[in-house]
Amino acid sequence: MLSRVANNLFWMGRYIERAEHVARFMNVNYFSSLDAPNQLSQSRQFVLQSMLFMVGNSINDASVDLDEEQVLYDIALNPEESYSIINSIKNARENANSSRDLISTELYESLNKFYHFVMKYPKEAFVKTNLYDFTINVSEMTAVLRGKIRGTLLHDKVYAVIMMGVNIERAIQINRIINTKFNDAQKAQGGYGDTMANSFEWSTLLKCAESYDMMRRLYKKAPTSTTTLEFLLLNSRCPRSFMNCINQVYNHVKELENKAEHEKHSTAFLVGKVRAEFEFKRIEEITEDVQGCLNGILDKMFKISESMEKEFFGY
Amino acid sequence: MGYDYEIEYVTRNTYEKGLNEAFWQFLIIPENNDTQELISWNFENDLGMVNSVSINGLGFKTVQVRAKEQTDHINFRASFKLSKKEINPYDFPLPESVEHERALLHSHNYRVDHEPFLRKTKLTQLSAKYENLFLFNNKKSIFENLVALNKWVFEKLIFQSGVTDVGTQLSEIIENRHGVCQDFSHLFCAIAKQNGVPSRYVSGYLHQGNGFFGDSQMHAWAESHIPNVGWIGFDPTNNILANHNHIKVSHGKDYNDCAPLKGVVYTLGKNKTQYSVQVKASQQQ
Amino acid sequence: MGKVSNKSIFSNYQKNEGLFDEVFDENGNVKSVYQKILDIYGARSIKDYVKLNNKAKSSFFNQGITFQVYGDKESQEKIFPFDLFPRIIDPDEWDLIEKGAIQRNLALNEFLWDVYHDKKIIKDNVVPLELLSSSPNYLHQMMGLDPPSRIYNHISGTDIIKHSDGNYYVLEDNIRCPSGVSYVICNRTALKRALFGVFNHYKTHTVTDYAENLLSLLESVKPHGVDVPVCVVITPGMFNSAYYEHSYLAKAMGIELVEGRDLFVENDFVYMKTISGPVRVDVVYRRIDDLFIDPMEFNPDSALGVPGLFAAYKKGNVTLANAPGTGVADDKAIYTYVPDIIKYYLDEEPILKNVHTYHCSRPDDLKYVLDNIHNLVIKPVDEAGGYGISIGNRLTKNEIDEVKNTIKAAPRKYVAQPIMSLSVHPTYIDDTKSFEQRHVDLRTFTVLGKDQQFVLKGGLTRVALKKGNLIVNSSQGGGSKDTWVLKQQ
């Protein structure tokens, strides 16, 4: 596979995954806030700030009065904002265009339909009434794409590169979502005697990661800060957990490297090292310094992505 | 009797913003022909990249260097050892019949065979205004006409560097009457072709021991084809016939076929090229 | 004007007596090869047809088989207009086309070999020297070079029309990078989806074997000493209008689609940059114009090509298909000599006729052209895609004077041909929601490999969608039809 094309496929995977997380985050946050138990969590401004924080465009000035329609438009459909969903889909398709000969007709056709759906989505209706419809459709179409990736591509290097993109992006997005909700939980403390550990925000967090039902099935209790973090960071059986993502990245990078032993400076070595670290980590080590740990993970994922670019995509 | 030459070509190219990838091709290796024999070559670049010798589309040897990693410059040095025969440029008989020679020159098959060097290029095209700038004398042989043309160009233009560049059109050169060896050679070729004589641009080195024009850079002259004789070299910059001081590298329709350095460089900023040439000679014992 | 009244869907079909209709004969009766499809279509209403048509269109759109139209702000994606009513060619007619295309392209290949070697045809005064020396596509770098298996025009597109006399004529040769073959295959796929019932009634040759044949050709011209060649398709990139075709062909052949920046040359070998390091490339199907393939040899400003590629080719370490320099043989000025070229090299009569061409560079022809301009089509010799064509009987008086002056200023640049009456074919027209006569031509695809020749049994029927228009190129608003070549009973 050509290095340039591998790079494009990697980013196609990342953009598809990114669009999904942003869409779901908007959906869950907006709608669960409507009947949130405390006033702050219910506040429009608080929810909008949270959304902007998640896409990396946080407003630190609390006195700024955000315009709801503008914020929703910016995050979903504004082609001028690099973080918007519409841009992620555009980028995903552009990356797919340059590697059309390698991906299946079925996958391309789905992505292309998705692209036209987003491009043609009526902007007025979206900001006024159709937030739910739009975000749900994005989530579902990305699920279709994931299915096409898994079901219509040969599981070879092409597949491995796309899946590395998907999983690295998922790890990063899960991290961002945890970070955002951790930040929200901190801010929302104190209202109605709500403590940080039992904050309403943890349920929202789990829903943002489509992991609420799984978590309830496993723990059979209302989520707390510790159990939520443990589940989303360390539980390898949760498909959205960081642990699961890094396991998958490791499996796929082995497909690319094709060597019995990893060289010391290879991406596979780096991924393996991160994986080993988290495989044997206890949640207590994380709760000591949650922010530090989240930053550490983000940093490691960026390093892995960088190393991939050098090893496989740099000519 | 002959001459031994040692030639050195040194260049430094710098790139303001740096580059990620580059490909340079040097057309600087003296050719082997009846009068010159390349004995050895040596190439060095300071990027630690391979210098590979290849043959270009027109059949001349080139050196190629490819940069795979980031750099902001390349230093390249080539040295050659070469031996050259003493040449008597007048060593051929003049035609018995000028008319017969001219008929041959204009014969169909002759023109088909020499099509590449009768073709006019952007750099060797005389505008309509100058088509009759220098007309051959039908009573004289082609060789005599070419010698006269050589002298005419030498007198028409004044050697001055820095006023023209490799893309300067002939009409501008004719009007301003200034130029360097490329311009002298292009004008010579253009007029010779206009008069039906196949002519080509030659790039090479000039040994300047005798105070010829040519800078410490690569030199250019021309070759014209004379029926029943072959290719004869004319150096209009110095009003002489090519001799043992002229070390030929390549020929082509014009400068563009013979540019000593061609490069493809992926960079955004400006770049600067410096190069120098040194030719040392010693007469063989 | 006669009316065809037998079938509902064609009840309003206007038949112009002066034109050769592919479906109906001069008495308004359906030609036998079209009988079945007309019976089936006739049982449907226009409404059904419109529904089918829209379905087919959205299938093209969703598959991204589109081209870009650049507007003020956003670029728009459009599908190539496509007509669901197929053109059907009977086996005997096809036999003639196929033999003629092979004959023509073999002769052009001989011509290319000759002009890059001894130039015998020029010395024998069959083709004028002027045509070589004035052609920017005659590449001196190709002199004396022997391409593998002596093949230059591996892939050729021959444009053929049917005149009102019922005979086929060649309109143009395309032997640089002819495009359109992917639409042949997409049209067939779309038609099969929409009209699967109709196919049962016809024995039609498949067109999907093109990629297979192309790959086998590319492998057959591998460099000396290579066992299993690595073949690639090189494209100028995704902004090229034929990008879809490039990616389609690469995918169908299962080989890499590369851009210039994916390749590099070291020691006269060509490599592609892959995730597992450099991989040697042996055969390059180039879809980049030859003057852009190597900035060291040709256009120095080309960012599309690969520096050093030509030297590697010359050394025999990589094969380029088509060979550089083929453009000298598909110049419109050379076209008129093709019948002579066929006789010269093959000692055969041309199977497919040429349209008579007047060379404005010849004084006699120039005079004829200027005197009869209203009955002629004027074409520039070095433009592709239907640009710069003037049709004499469509010009106003002022325009005629203008064209005359342009010709007089540069006679060598223009040729003229009698206005050929391209045959017409019933074509569904969106605006009037009915079938109307539209002019069609046929681009055939010929593949020449080592000891193998193949003509795609089908080809691209191009339709001039504007009423009365004779220019069928897609860049000039043309559409296309699926083309069925029937098997011998």
- The percent of residues in chain B predicted with pLDDT above 70, rounded, is 97
Residues of C in contact with A256 (CB under 8 A): 275
Residue C155 and residue C322: Cα distance in Å, rounded?
A: 7
Domain with residue C161: its CATH number is 3.40.50.11290
From its phi and psi, is residue B48 left (phi > 0), alpha (psi between -120 and 50) or beta? left
Query: For residue B133, which of B201, B196, B187, B200 has the smallest C-alpha distance?
Result: B187
Instruction: Note the pLDDT of residue B40.
Output: 94
- Residue carrying structure tokens 């975000």: A135
CB atoms within 10 A of CB A59: 14
Q: Give the nearest partner residue to B109 out of C123, C300, C311, using CB atoms.
A: C123
Q: Mean pLDDT over residues A137-158, rounded?
A: 95
> For residue C191, what are its two tokens?
């038609």
Residue A29 and residue C303: Cα distance in Å, rounded?
A: 48
DSSP letter string, A214-233:
HHHHHH-S---HHHHHIIII
Domain with residue C384: its CATH number is 3.30.1490.270
Q: In whole numbers, what is the pLDDT of chain C averaged over residues?
A: 88
Cβ distance B119 to C133 less than 8 Å, yes or no, reads yes
Query: For residue C58, which of A89, A105, A113 has the smallest C-alpha distance?
Result: A113
Q: Mean pLDDT over residues A76-97, rounded?
A: 94
Instruction: Note the pLDDT of residue C4.
Output: 45
Which ranges constitute the DSSP H helices of B157-233? 170-176, 181-194
Cβ distance B64 to C308 less than 8 Å, yes or no, reads yes
Q: Mean pLDDT over residues C184-200, rounded?
A: 85
Asked if B215 contacts B275 with a C-beta cutoff of 8 angstroms, the reply is no
Cα separations in angstroms, C209 against C148, C183, C253: 24, 14, 10
Query: For residue C250, which of C182, C318, C309 has the smallest C-alpha distance?
Result: C182
Query: What confidence tier does B215 reach under pLDDT thresholds 50, 70, 90?
Result: low
Cβ-count burial C46-65 (b if 16+ within 10 Å, e if not): beebeebbeebbebbbbbbb
Number of domains in chain C: 2
Residues of B in contact with C142 (CB under 8 A): 57
Structural domains for chain B:
2-85+259-283 (2.60.40.2250), 98-258 (3.10.620.30)
Q: Mean pLDDT over residues C235-250, rounded?
A: 90
Taking only the tens place, the pLDDT of each residue in C469-486 is 777 776 666 889 999 999
Query: What confidence tier does C27 reach under pLDDT thresholds 50, 70, 90?
Result: confident
* B42 alpha carbon, distance to own chain's centre: 22
Residues 67-126 of B with CB under 8 A from C: 108-109, 111-113, 115-116, 118-119
> C342-345 contacts: CB < 8 A, separation 24 or more?
C342/C103, C342/C104, C342/C107, C344/C107, C344/C121, C344/C124, C344/C126, C345/C106, C345/C107, C345/C110, C345/C111, C345/C114, C345/C121
Query: For residue C330, which of C161, C152, C162 has the smallest C-alpha distance?
Result: C152
Query: What confidence tier does A13 reach under pLDDT thresholds 50, 70, 90?
Result: very high
Instruction: Note the pLDDT of residue C2.
Output: 39
- Reply yes or no on whether the pLDDT at C204 is more than 60: yes
Which residues partner with B84 through β-bridges?
B3, B36
Give the chains touching B; criterion: ≥3 Cβ pairs < 8 Å: C
Asked if B242 contacts B34 with a C-beta cutoff of 8 angstroms, the reply is no
Instruction: Note the pLDDT of residue C199.
Output: 85
Residue that finishes a domain, picked among C284, C318, C346: C346
Instruction: Note the pLDDT of residue C3.
Output: 42
Considering the domain architecture, whether residues C337 and C361 belong to the same structural domain is answered as: no
Give kind and range of the element (H or E) at residue A105: helix A105-120
Residues of C in contact with B118 (CB under 8 A): 133
DSSP structure class, residue B34: S
A10: contact with C, CB 8 A cutoff: no
Q: Give the nearest partner residue to C268 out of B54, B58, B256, using CB atoms.
A: B54
Considering the domain architecture, whether residues C188 and C138 belong to the same structural domain is answered as: yes
Q: Give the nearest partner residue to B108 out of C123, C140, C312, using CB atoms.
A: C123
Domain that holds residue C269: 91-346
Asked if C357 contacts C416 with a C-beta cutoff of 8 angstroms, the reply is yes
Cα separations in angstroms, B225 against B119, B200, C206, C238, C435: 14, 9, 57, 48, 66
Considering the domain architecture, whether residues C339 and C368 belong to the same structural domain is answered as: no
C126: contact with B, CB 8 A cutoff: no
Which residues partner with A308 through β-bridges?
none
Taking only the tens place, the pLDDT of each residue in B136-168 is 999 999 999 999 999 999 999 999 888 888 788
Cβ distance C274 to A3 less than 8 Å, yes or no, reads yes
Q: Give the nearest partner residue to B115 out of C125, C133, C142, using CB atoms.
A: C133
> What do you get for the CA distance between the two ends of chain C, in Å?
35
C258: in domain? yes
> For residue C125, what are its two tokens?
């005064």
Q: Where is mean pLDDT largest: A24-28, A299-303, C111-115, C201-205?
A: C111-115
Domain that holds residue A146: 3-313
Considering the domain architecture, whether residues C305 and C402 belong to the same structural domain is answered as: no
Considering the domain architecture, whether residues C400 and C294 belong to the same structural domain is answered as: no
Q: Where is mean pLDDT largest: C39-53, C160-174, C279-293, C354-368?
A: C279-293
- Reply yes or no on whether the pLDDT at C45 is more than 90: no
Query: What confidence tier does C465 reach under pLDDT thresholds 50, 70, 90?
Result: confident
Residue B30 and residue B254: Cα distance in Å, rounded?
A: 18
DSSP letter string, A3-19:
HHHHHHHHHHHHHHHHH
> pTM for the full model?
0.88
Residue C55: φ, ψ to 5°: -60, -45
Residue that finishes a domain, picked among C403, C418, C433: C418
C46: in domain? no
Q: In whole numbers, what is the pLDDT of chain B averaged over residues?
A: 91
Instruction: Note the pLDDT of residue A77.
Output: 94
C44: in domain? no
Residue that finishes a domain, picked among C346, C381, C405: C346
Instruction: For chain B, count helices (H), then strands (E).
Output: 6, 15
- Residue carrying structure tokens 């009987």: C393
Residue B250 and residue B266: Cα distance in Å, rounded?
A: 27
Residues 269-308 of C with CB under 8 A from B: 295-297, 300, 303, 307-308
Considering the domain architecture, whether residues C388 and C308 belong to the same structural domain is answered as: no
Give kind and range of the element (H or E) at residue C334: helix C332-335
Considering the domain architecture, whether residues C336 and C409 belong to the same structural domain is answered as: no
Largest CA-CA distance found in chain A, in angstroms, rounded: 59
Considering the domain architecture, whether residues C291 and C387 belong to the same structural domain is answered as: no
Cα separations in angstroms, B199 against A73, B106, B166, B192: 69, 14, 19, 6
**Best C129, C296, C298 residue to mutate vs chain B (most B CBs within 10 Å):** C296
Considering the domain architecture, whether residues C408 and C362 belong to the same structural domain is answered as: yes
Count B/C contacts: CB-CB distance under 8 Å.
72
Residue C218 and residue C209: Cα distance in Å, rounded?
A: 14
Higher pLDDT, A93 or B96: A93
Asked if C311 contacts C305 with a C-beta cutoff of 8 angstroms, the reply is no
Considering the domain architecture, whether residues C252 and C192 belong to the same structural domain is answered as: yes
* C343 alpha carbon, distance to own chain's centre: 24
Q: Give the nearest partner residue to C257 out of A3, A101, A258, using CB atoms.
A: A101
Taking only the tens place, the pLDDT of each residue in A153-199 is 999 999 999 999 999 999 999 999 998 888 888 877 655 555 777 77
Residue B208: φ, ψ to 5°: -105, 20
DSSP structure class, residue C72: S
Instruction: Note the pLDDT of residue C143.
Output: 95
Residues of C in contact with A314 (CB under 8 A): none
ipTM exceeding 0.90, yes/no: yes
Taking only the tens place, the pLDDT of each residue in B219-274 is 999 999 999 999 999 999 999 999 999 999 999 999 999 999 998 888 778 888 88
Number of domains in chain A: 1
- Reply yes or no on whether the pLDDT at C332 is more than 80: no
Give the chains touching A; criterion: ≥3 Cβ pairs < 8 Å: C
Taking only the tens place, the pLDDT of each residue in A208-261 is 888 999 998 998 888 888 999 999 999 999 999 999 999 999 999 998 887 767
Taking only the tens place, the pLDDT of each residue in C375-426 is 898 888 766 556 678 888 888 889 889 889 989 888 888 889 888 888 999 9
Considering the domain architecture, whether residues C332 and C413 belong to the same structural domain is answered as: no
Q: Give the nearest partner residue to B52 out of C139, C143, C266, using CB atoms.
A: C266
Cβ-count burial A173-209 (b if 16+ within 10 Å, e if not): bbbbbbbbbbbbbebbbebeebeeeebbbbbbbbbbb
Residue B3 and residue B245: Cα distance in Å, rounded?
A: 9
SS3 at position B67? strand
Q: Mean pLDDT over residues B72-100, rounded?
A: 89
Considering the domain architecture, whether residues C282 and C411 belong to the same structural domain is answered as: no
Residue C225 and residue A2: Cα distance in Å, rounded?
A: 25
